Structure 1
Amino acid sequence: MANNFKMLAKTMHGFEDMLAKELTDLGAINVEKGVRSVTFEGDTGFMYKANLCLRTAIKILKPIRTFFVRSEQDLYDKVYRMEWERMMKVNQTFAVDATVNSDLFNHSKYISLKTKDAIVDRFRNILGKRPNVDIKYPDLRINIHIQRNQVTISLDSSGQSLHQRGYKTATNIAPINEVLAAGILLQSGWDGQSDFLDPMCGSGTLCIEAAMIACNIPANINRREFAFEKWADYDEELFEKIVESSLKKTREFHHKIYGYDKAPSAARKAADNVKNANLAEYITIEQKDFFASEKEGDEKLHMVFNPPYGQRLEIKEFEEFYRNIGDTLKNHYANTEAWFITADPEAVKNVGLRPSRKIKLYNGKLESRLYKYDIYAGSKKAKFKKPQS
């Protein structure tokens, strides 16, 4: 307990509840939801585990100093007094990200620059040399958050966004973000207890994330590195133990996962990404037009997909496209729980089915809805429920 410290996990709008549950299930203490974030406490090993295992987190930040400021000079002075030489070597690189919500300061890039100057000046005055800035691949990524006159300085333990899992080397137009895909699957209640189909699989992201959830595979097991691996206090032996322990908690999956795409190039890219994720034994990718397909067998099917829509892709006769989605589900996919996300509410009106649930999400900056359709066995007609908002 004495070695625990406070951390902050960033996430997407609407994912706070799921992330809080993930953290609690993983063993975090004092979990508290914020806006697009969740704070929690744990030790260094838990920080490693959070980066490795969390599916709906984008970043894991470790706050190292909080203080109040009255001016730009006050900010500079207080950043300057921090012992940065204990956190990085002069021959290492660093970068500063800033988020500002304050009447005192109105430009995040200027705050980043002021913070950078204070760090560089301290090194130059103490050691006679200065570290360089590397915005893309720094050895130390520093996060500064200003809320009114309160400043929080954090170290970014993740580095590149945690949606960059490491398995996706080939993408198509408008690929779905991996964190968004995992969140959609968790929102849909996917638990690996049935067959799964993404009928418009694109790069294969939903299939891959579905397999990782079903098998309880750590979300970021395929990443090449995390930022904390370059920290001065990085414990490689501890991290290896965390990885080994997490992999021991994987489980067998006794159903099938399918991905369809009518474009040969998309199917090839999806298959490559599945192979990169080491999940080829669980996922089958086929070049197939969903509108010309039929459900395999009578058992329950869990379907989740991200159809193209007007803001992201040009669709000719999109009304017919979405009408075909509804017709295919009604006529060929009995005993299916179907979910899809779209930012085009007009398109959904053409599906011809009444959704049993609607969940507000964001796909990038696009306000979207995740729709659920229950296609029951024994009838080609959908039985409807009153939508839940």
Structure 2
Amino acid sequence: MAGNFKMMAKTLYGFEPILAKELRNLGASNVEEGVRNVSFEGDTGFMYKANLCLRTALRVFRPIKTFRVFNEKDLYRHIYELDWPGIFDVEKTFAIDSVTSTKVFDNSMFVSLKAKDAIVDKFREIVRERPNVKTQDPDIRINIHIYNNTCTVSLDSSGNSLHQRGYRILTNIAPINEVLAAGLLLKTGWDGQSNFFDPMCGSGTFLIEAAMIACNIPANINRESYAFMHWKDYDADLYSKIVDASLKKVREFNYKIIGYDKAPSAVRKAQENVDHANLSDYITVERKDFFRVDKPLEGKLHMLFNPPYGERLPIDMEIFYGKIGDTFKQIYPGTDAWLITSNLEALKHIGLKTSKKIKTFNGKLESRLVKYEIYEGSKKVKFSEEN
């Protein structure tokens, strides 16, 4: 796998431009946006760096073969022809994830089973042994994508999804995905050049991702392993150099990041996650009710939070969201206030015009990321709306 090669990073809906910008900033070449993915080129070291540093990628794939397929014999033959014993040792466990959109095969499970047979048979021919399949937390992940009659076989270099950063040891009822949190922060324009506030911080994901962006800390610095570490060509020294070089780009943050939550259990979980992420020097978490206290800091404030939607945390939406709007107007001049919600009806009760409204998804829930610009010295809000 020497020299540059093509790769593809998966992401969430609407995050393709952000991921493409991240890749260009890291030094990727031939960056092209797709649907929930971005393709690019780089060498082995860049693949390591992409897994370590990308904030809005879920997985990084390394395609190893593309071919035409018209029946199961074609599928088996082409996959069998690959040098699987040259890619990973027989002692490693593996799993196959298949995605199909074709009339050739009825279901993706059959594709995975046929591919598994080809890989196992190849090992038996070359090394007289076979590797074991392990569906949960395997050493090696292989991705097969079939569209019409084109099949692409890729190695999943990430293994577990890259939203599993390694710092979050405790969660609440409805935790927000770390990749989603980072992407939302970047969509709001967060760059670490002001104070940051999450008034309903839960287990602290927005706080931690905001600090990592502000300090330019690699997104997955707390993560212990990736699938590429189980490949035969894994270069531990090169990966160590990539980590060292990335850490040298960490910068100081001269503002404050504050999180509130009124639930003692949430505050405790957030504090433990912050400590585990080694970010307690930058983040303060306090048990306070957003509706009952003053603005935590004077001057410009960047706010982003994930209030209850009524999906898993029952509340009176009209009263609750009305209190959010009242609190914005009365307590938070000089604030760019962003929130994400899937309850579009509840937004009407805030009673303020949004200056931005962006469609996104929180898991399977269609949501809106909305912005309220609350100006210093005035309780008026900018009256423009962007759908």
The verdict on a shared fold, with TM-score over 0.5 as the criterion, is yes
- Aligned partners of 2:352 and 2:381 also within 8 Å: no
Task: Give the C-alpha shift of residue 134 in structure 1.
Answer: 1.1
Tell me which residue corresponds to 1:102: 102
Tell me which residue corresponds to 1:365: 364
Matched AA of 1:171: T
Tell me which residue corresponds to 2:270: 270
SS of aligned partner of 2:350: coil
Give distance in 2, aligned partners of 1:324 and 1:141: 48
Task: Give the C-alpha shift of residue 204 in structure 1.
Answer: 0.0
Task: Give the C-alpha shift of residue 312 in structure 1.
Answer: 3.6
Task: Give the C-alpha shift of residue 28 in structure 1.
Answer: 0.3
Give distance in 2, aligned partners of 1:383 and 1:129: 69
Deviations 1:78-98 (A, max 9, x none): 111111111112222111011
- Aligned partners of 1:181 and 1:205 also within 8 Å: yes
Give distance in 2, aligned partners of 1:237 and 1:263: 45
Task: Give the C-alpha shift of residue 359 in structure 1.
Answer: 0.4
Tell me which residue corresponds to 2:384: 386
- Stretches (4+) displaced over 3 A: none
Give distance in 2, aligned partners of 1:304 and 1:349: 18
Tell me which residue corresponds to 2:8: 8
SS of aligned partner of 2:3: coil
Alignment of 1:335-346 (within 5 A): 335-346=334-345
Give distance in 1, aligned partners of 2:380 and 2:103: 54
Quote the sequence identity (%).
63
Tell me which residue corresponds to 1:323: 322
Give distance in 1, aligned partners of 2:375 and 2:281: 29
Give distance in 1, aligned partners of 2:381 and 2:220: 39
Alignment of 1:277-316 (within 5 A): 277-315=277-315
The runs of 5 or more residues in structure 1 that have no matched partner are: none
Tell me which residue corresponds to 1:136: 136
Deviates more, 1:88-97 or 1:249-258: 88-97
Deviates more, 1:289-298 or 1:169-178: 289-298
Give distance in 2, aligned partners of 1:313 and 1:67: 48
Task: Give the C-alpha shift of residue 109 in structure 1.
Answer: 1.5
Give distance in 1, aligned partners of 2:203 and 2:298: 28
Deviates more, 1:172-181 or 1:88-97: 88-97
Alignment of 1:136-215 (within 5 A): 136-215=136-215
Tell me which residue corresponds to 1:41: 41
> How many residues get paired?
387
Task: Give the C-alpha shift of residue 298 in structure 1.
Answer: 3.0
- Aligned partners of 1:262 and 1:287 also within 8 Å: yes
- Aligned partners of 1:95 and 1:142 also within 8 Å: yes
Aligned alpha-carbon RMSD (Å)? 1.2
The runs of 5 or more residues in structure 2 that have no matched partner are: none
Matched AA of 1:365: K
Matched AA of 1:162: L
Tell me which residue corresponds to 1:61: 61
- Kindly indicate whether residue 29 of structure 2 is the aligned counterpart of residue 29 of structure 1: yes
Deviations 1:282-306 (A, max 9, x none): 0000001001121134310000000
- Aligned partners of 2:93 and 2:132 also within 8 Å: yes
Give distance in 1, aligned partners of 2:83 and 2:225: 26
Deviations 1:340-359 (A, max 9, x none): 00001100000011110000
Give distance in 2, aligned partners of 1:144 and 1:222: 29
Tell me which residue corresponds to 1:353: 352
Deviations 1:37-75 (A, max 9, x none): 000000000000000000000000000000001101211
Deviations 1:302-344 (A, max 9, x none): 00000010224222x1110000111111101110000000001
SS of aligned partner of 1:304: strand
SS of aligned partner of 1:251: coil
Deviations 1:206-233 (A, max 9, x none): 0000000000000000001111111100
Matched AA of 1:204: G
Tell me which residue corresponds to 2:229: 229
SS of aligned partner of 2:254: coil
Give distance in 2, aligned partners of 1:298 and 1:204: 22
SS of aligned partner of 1:17: helix
Matched AA of 1:288: K
- Aligned partners of 1:353 and 1:382 also within 8 Å: no
Give distance in 1, aligned partners of 2:277 and 2:90: 37
Give distance in 1, aligned partners of 2:125 and 2:194: 63
- Aligned partners of 1:333 and 1:375 also within 8 Å: yes
Give distance in 2, aligned partners of 1:252 and 1:388: 34
Give distance in 1, aligned partners of 2:24 and 2:386: 26
Task: Give the C-alpha shift of residue 140 in structure 1.
Answer: 1.3
Deviations 1:161-206 (A, max 9, x none): 0000000000001100000000000000001111100000001000
SS of aligned partner of 2:244: helix
Matched AA of 2:345: E
- Aligned partners of 2:92 and 2:230 also within 8 Å: no
Give distance in 2, aligned partners of 1:141 and 1:122: 17
Matched AA of 1:341: I
Task: Give the C-alpha shift of residue 387 in structure 1.
Answer: 0.7
TM-score, scaled relative to structure 1? 0.98
